Structure 1
Amino acid sequence: MKRLRLAAPLAAAVVALLPGTAQADVTYPDPQPITGQEIIHDPTVIRLKNGGYVSYSTGGVIGARTSKDRVHWDDAGNAFAEPPEWWYEYNDTGDPWAPDISYRDGRYWLYYAVSSWGTNHSAIGVATSRTGLPGTWTDQGKVFTSETTDTWNAIDPAVIRADGRLWMAFGSYWTGIRMVELNPRTGKAAEDATVHHLATRPDAPYAVEGPEIVKHGRYYYLFASYDACCSGVNSTYKIKVGRSTDIEGPYVDSTGKPLLEGGGDLVLEGHGRYIGTGGQSVFEDRGKDWLAYHYYDAEDDGTPKLGLNRLHWTKTGWPEVF
């Protein structure tokens, strides 16, 4: 997702070409310092209409964190008190994954996935709330599903409005990142919705997942997590990006290589104590873009923690973190 450079303040990116090679040796910026409840996985963050912040994540019944200043984070329980009954169709524990929060038409919308490890018998659901705060969500049921006969996996949702239409990117392994159009009134996909293909890897197991699409200037940017998560300090997650002038693609990296052919510019990868950076989302705060993600802390037994970095856009229109 990010090309071969990073920004400068606070020990940010230093690019040094190795003698005799054209390969760049990149030093990545550390996440911004935060306090309070740092433990999180697959964070989605939004600045609420009341001026505060909320982050939802994998874990619990969609784990919640709140903040007044984006620096100190408090544990705020869960989005739901109890799992909706239909979740148990997709796993025995009613355990949801990888939520995505957005605001439109006077309501907050919380998309999430329910599945079991290693299967694409999966579903994406949605809940709505007037405040976006934990404990205020009303579940609206299934948005889109996948079965073992499908070549995609209905997890890791990410919703974006584009040219007056509503879209949801999703996907994990099973040939990579897909996208469907949603009905803006219900927030759900039609039964016969076309499943568009946005990104994949050249070989099995096609380890790309967790899409996030962001509009900047005339381009749509597709961020995704590549390689393996969820193994503590052995995780190899990293964030890459490609872009397109059309929401439906094709998405390409800065060299012009399509993401459907394994392309993608590197945005952020593990460095120092910050291992397996991924599970990312992008949010806007006072006109600035921020990248939220988790990393595994090598100095704390591989505990997953919240990473936040500003996104800067270069003159050529590519994002970099600092």
Structure 2
Amino acid sequence: MRSAPHARLTGTGSCLPEQRLSNQDLVERLAARGVETSDDWIVERTGIRFRHFAAESQTTSDLALTAAQRALDDAGVAASDLDLIIVATSTPDMVFPSTACLLQAKLGASGGAAFDVQAVCTGFIYAISVADAMIRSGAARTALVVGAETFSRLLDFDDRGTCVLFGDGAGAVVLQASDTPGILSTTLHADGQHAPILCVPGQVRGGAVQGHALLTMDGQAVFKLAVNLLDQAAREVLDQAGLTTADVDWLVPHQANIRIMQSTARKLRLGMDKVIVTVDQHGNTSAASIPLALDAGRRDGRLKAGQRVLLEGVGGGFTWGAALLQL
């Protein structure tokens, strides 16, 4: 009897909006609002030097479309071959339908399943875990998984502790059924008790916004939780695969803050020369950050066929998870 198929990554793609803001650009914008910060302050605390903001006319599905088309081209797959589209996002185009359905229409790929996953910065890990399970079960054979965000629209530009951190973008991967192992293991977790430390506590009711519809964060609390939970998730997926950190060629973490990434790598006893870092170029792009980093690493030649790559993320919810891939 034939064994269950594996889910294998066959293509990646990314999209960053044209508008690119340096720290100094943002410093000047904030100064006009009476908010003081500096390039040195931002770099020292976060490692961020640039971020991209979507144009007024650009939607999350627009960014997702460009990233998706590039991933499909990279994989040599036609949109008509897709039988599953999952978009991880916290900034959908509208309340409903899902951004995945809107993306499916733009791709001209109707018929397969399409839905969104909302786990904030862990969203991409959640999404590829679901796609992996569906491919392994036989429910899908060719999946497009996208992390896409327009987080700039959730920012409070009177709060220098959060507005300097985030940017917009999209990253996408194509996963296909294969006899060769690709996604070796995944793990997902959440603890809703920590929801208040990172959230957007607003909603639409009766056609009007109720509550506070901008991002709020307790940075110190998030940092303390993040480092320990990322270490835990990484070790779980390695244990599941019967491997150790010595077997990892590359760590591709959620690009939130260079200090979190450095602390996580140190706990795992991985040198920073084994960590894909892109946070300096686009800030925290939430669910888009891991696939953006994956695509950057593949296109510049660092990530190569046969290597083992550890993905990990943590985000509002509080959510966290990891995935171990063999390229």
Instruction: Say whether the fold is shared (TM-score over 0.5).
Output: no
Q: TM-score range by the shorter chain?
A: under 0.3
TM-score (norm 1): 0.28
Q: Normalised by the size of structure 2, how large is the TM-score?
A: 0.28
Choose between structure 1 and 2: higher strand proportion: 1
The structure whose residues are more often helix, as a share, is 2
Structure with the bigger RCO (C-alpha within 8 Å, sep 6+) is 2
